[in-house]
Each structure stands twice: as structure tokens, then as C-alpha cells.
Amino acid sequence: MFIRLSPLKALLAVLLAVLTGCASQPENPDPWEGMNRQVFAFNEVADKYVAKPIAKGYQAVLPSFAETGIDNMFNNLHELLNIVADLGQFKFKAAATDATRFVVNSTVGVAGFFEVAAHIGLPRRTEDFGQTLGYWGVGPGPYVVLPILGPSTVRDAGAAVIDAQVDAVSQVDHVRTRNQLRFLDLVNTRANLLKTESLLSGDRYTFMRDAYLQRREYLISDGAPVEDSFGEEEFEEWDDF
């Protein structure tokens, strides 16, 4: 599949990648907490009155098998990003596995509607350019909450520009169809998070920040034990966040 990346966007992506290369791991991962909390509060209001009601309506209208199928289809489309990010980390075996997953699910799985690959020993993985930068030693930099998009870091925010261009949905030429797919992907993602809300406890901002940072560290280390803020090894996967 040809990856459509305009020269201007390519240049922007490269510049952002270079800028994030200057980001290291600060002693305080959240030096912009005051600003971040304000953006977080805005996102909470937008989620309460817009995103969450749409996600609930989406779940109410679709039967569970259709919702699962759509989720599988978007996971399948995101395999292109997995493959490119794998290659950027020299994970050639993983890239071959993800490519095989894409072929199997796109054919036998009927355009990815059915998750067939996982049942034949090809589990789904998640890779992106933020992880690729982390692989090459780029620190996350300060934690930042983006409007609408939510938790991120300086490194991951810059890498997301590249992610958005490589993702298969961005390769759809018809603008209206591409925007509809992006909207459906966002709604599907929000609907998937409805079941995890009961896990939130205490200060929501702090909980989501810590969960995000620990999950990103887990993904970048490919599941290797990492030390949490208390000096203890953290093994838990944050797959629901």
C-alpha cells in the first residue's frame, strides 16, 4: 500500500521528530500540571456532553457482534502503522507477523471484521512512532494533555503527526469517506473505554496521567519490567487505557 505523505506534512513530521529528540526524561514528569489540568477540565466537559453520549448511542444501536466486528476492522487497518513502526525499530520478525495478520484478517477475516489471526497464534500488537522514538533512546519529555486527544508527552505528541499520516485511514483519497472513517474510529475508541470508567478512582487527572505514563513505558519496553515511582517492579498491562 502506498503511503501518501505530502512534502509539507512530511517536513513537519521530520521537524517534530527532531524536536522531540531534544526531549529527555525530566525529574518532574508533569511540570505543566496547571495548564494540563485546565485542558483536562475542558476535555472532561466535552466528553460528558458530546463524546460519551455519542459513544453510548453507538453501543445502544449496534448489536455486540457488529461493534466487535467494527473494532476488529479498525485494528486491522492500524496494522499498517504497526508494520512501519516495527521496521523503524528493526523488529523484522514482528513486522512479518503483523503483515501476516493483516493478510489473514483482510482475506479470511472478511476485511478484518473477524479476528482470525489471533486464533492461529498471531496475537495483536500495538506499535507507533512514539514507541519507535523511545526505542532509539528519545525520552518522553514533559507530560501534556492535548485538547480533545487527551494524555500524551512531548515525544508522543510529535510522533502522532507521523502516525496520522502512515495510518491506513489517511490513505483513503475520498475526503468525505476518510473523515467519516476517522469519526467512526474515534466513536469506536470512546465506546471501548466506557467499560473502563469504573476503574478510575481518586483524582481522575492523576490516575489517568499515571496510567498513561506507565502504559507507554510498558509498551516501549515491550513488556519488560519497569520500576514505578515507588521503586517496585511494575508488570501490569494497561490495555484498557
And the C-alpha cell for 215?
502504559
Ramachandran bin of 150, using left for φ above 0, alpha for ψ from -120 to 50, beta for the remaining angles: left
Nearest to 152 by CA among 162, 161, 144, 160: 144
Predicted local distance difference test score (pLDDT) of residue 42: 98
Q: What is the mean pLDDT of each run of 10 residues along the chain (241 residues)?
A: 48 50 69 97 97 96 95 95 95 96 97 96 94 94 95 95 88 91 95 86 92 93 56 40 43
pTM over 0.85: no
Predicted local distance difference test score (pLDDT) of residue 68: 96
Where along the chain do its domains lie?
Answer: 7-234
Predicted local distance difference test score (pLDDT) of residue 24: 55
And the C-alpha cell for 164?
496520522
Predicted local distance difference test score (pLDDT) of residue 172: 87
CB 101 within 8 A of CB 83: no
DSSP 8-class letter at 182: H
Predicted local distance difference test score (pLDDT) of residue 100: 97
In degrees, rounded to 5, the angle at the alpha carbon of residue 236 between the alpha carbons of residues 168 and 118 is: 45
